[in-house]
Chain A
Amino acid sequence: MRAKHFAPPRLTLRFLQVWRRNFLVWRKLAVTSILGNLADPMLYMLGLGYGLGGLLPQVNGTPYITFLAGGTVCYSTMNSATFEALYSAFSRMHVQKTWEAILNAPVDLDDIVLAEEVWAASKSFLSGMAILAIIWILRLSHSPLMLWIVPLTVLIGLIFGALGLMMTALSPSYDFFLYYFTLVITPMVLLCGVFFPASQLPQALQHVSAVLPLSHAIELARPLVNGRVPERAALHVCVLIAYAVVSFYIALVLTRRRLLT
């Protein structure tokens, strides 16, 4: 790895044209894409929420499905950003050579990586908003504090977009992504309190949970759904921003190493 790969990001508004390219493709396939992205988390929330919720007493004073809703917004956003930054970005980078074509034009790689991260966040934003809409429609909550979840989903999308792009930069093929799901995404879902409070976990696992980004997102989202101001909100926001910034930088360094040598 060369010193040049570690240079600070040089970002410009030219990233918008790359973002726009992805948007135009998405617009063509939007209906199937939306369905695929939303159906899964929605079914989890409704199925587990009503099915399991019927057997459970209230969790921390709220019905189980409302408890689950706060986790599902974050989970759905994470999932959607992850898929986009792994499979779709990998097709564009490696299979279709879209990035190579763009690099021959006067657009630098830093702008392409930024565009892909923002694009992953944009797509996942829709997934987050859809869950939020369902929470609203089912009257699981109608607290105006829920509006704070809107910027939160953007942050979650940026983080998991960048983490996914790190993986994409390292991956020799699509098969490699399975490791990422097994080693990163599944633990994230099970340890960060999507389906049950992380406080139910053994102490050692709680320590792991405490450093994972999804935990911090859920610590913010869940109280907001319940109409409460999250405790230590500034800390959680800072951790999430740090995750977004650092993972973007690492994704950028790895992508430069892969494509600019």
Chain B
Amino acid sequence: MPGRALSASSALLQLRGVRKSYGAQEVVAGIDLEIGSGECFGLLGPNGAGKTTTLRLALGLIDPDAGEIHVLGEPVPRRAREARLRVGVLPQQDSLDPDFTVRENLLVYGRYFGLPTRTIAARIPALLEFAGLEGRAGARIPSLSGGMKRRLSLARALINDPQLIFLDEPTTGLDPQARHLIWERLKRLVVEGKTILLTTHFMEEAERLCHRVAVMDRGRIIAQGSPQELIAHHIEPQVVEVYGEGAQAWTHRHSEALCRRCEHAGETAFCYTHDGERVLATLRGRDDLRYLQRRANLEDVFLKLTGRDLRD
């Protein structure tokens, strides 16, 4: 699966040269994406990179200025409604109906797909089980925790048994317990063979779940591949993080010789290297510095590609 080239017919989602501007700002600046059946694809990027706009374009809610979009074989936006019949969406912001119970939320949402009440009712028990909300069918939405609401939103996105699922920042704002539970559920969906496009800025999430990821910044896709490929291709295999007041001075003395690349964030130096042992040798016995050696991960790639500056 990783890195596999997809023929047009097997791609469930296909974007070619898609552009979208607001005034002078090009929010999506010519992107190409192809997602194959059964794939979990992560769209990564800092805030304002154009991830949500890309999802809205794929749903046909906004028209591209240029380019072609196909979702489940339907041309979008022309036949976006037909495409959405077979797509599930977990929006970034909670949009559950606070006046309805858990069960009513699923029932009412299913009707928007033209599903008969009987069909929806038959699907609800399995969806409640999936969401870990058995026994909560009659609960009102304001009585649910953030994690429960998120899981219910996810169950709602599955009410039409979609072939393709869009998840816009599925775990933003959740505590670690709730986040791990969502990850576990998303893995279940992947195992079941659902095709998923998720946006996130949690690299751990992308590394755990996604077969392939694309890093997006300022409306462009600047890297694409499996998490392992991106790490191997873009970054040195090991990282030594050095903290403390002397970190800066230590880098001045050693980094050129020992690190392929060295980055600073406050009092922390990140030394990217092929030989962590040599770096550690210069740090042993220094009680003014704390340090940690680890394998490079997707977050390192992301920070290298998109920079360490804030994007507020």
Query: Which residues of A are in contact with B by a Cβ distance under 8 Å?
Result: 2, 4, 14, 17-18, 20-21, 24-25, 28-29, 96-98, 100-108, 259-261
Chain A residues whose C-beta falls within 8 Å of the C-beta of B61 in the assembled complex: 103, 259-260
Cβ–Cβ contact A108 & B81, under 8 A: yes
Q: Is B108 an interface residue (CB 8 A)?
A: yes
Cβ–Cβ contact B112 & A97, under 8 A: no
Query: Which residues of B are in contact with A by a Cβ distance under 8 Å?
Result: 22, 59, 61-63, 81-82, 84-85, 87, 89, 91, 93-100, 104, 108-109, 111-114, 156, 160
Cβ–Cβ contact A106 & B104, under 8 A: no
Cβ–Cβ contact A17 & B112, under 8 A: yes
Cβ–Cβ contact B98 & A96, under 8 A: yes
B260 CB to nearest chain A CB (Å): 45
Q: How many A-B residue pairs have CB under 8 A?
A: 67
Chain A residues whose C-beta falls within 8 Å of the C-beta of B114 in the assembled complex: 14, 17, 106
Partner of A100, one of B82, B95, B99: B95
Tell me the dominant secondary structure on chain A's binding face.
helix
Can you pick out 10 interface pairs between chain A and chain B where the beta carbons lie within 8 Å of each other? A14-B112, A20-B108, A96-B97, A97-B91, A100-B93, A101-B96, A107-B81, A107-B112, A260-B61, A261-B22
Most chain B CB atoms below 10 A, which of A14, A21, A104:
A104
Bound form: Cα–Cα A12–B85 in Å: 15
Cβ–Cβ contact B94 & A97, under 8 A: yes
With contact pairs A4-B63, A25-B100, A96-B98 given, residues A104 and B82 touching in the complex (Cβ less than 8 Å): no
Residue of A nearest to B77 (CB): A4
Cβ–Cβ contact B112 & A105, under 8 A: yes
Most chain A CB atoms below 10 A, which of B91, B104, B108:
B108
Cβ–Cβ contact B95 & A21, under 8 A: no
Bound form: Cα–Cα A260–B77 in Å: 12
Bound form: Cα–Cα A221–B33 in Å: 61
Cβ–Cβ contact B95 & A105, under 8 A: no
Chain B residues whose C-beta falls within 8 Å of the C-beta of A18 in the assembled complex: 112
Bound form: Cα–Cα A103–B112 in Å: 9
Cβ–Cβ contact B109 & A105, under 8 A: yes
A253 CB to nearest chain B CB (Å): 15
Cβ–Cβ contact A101 & B109, under 8 A: yes
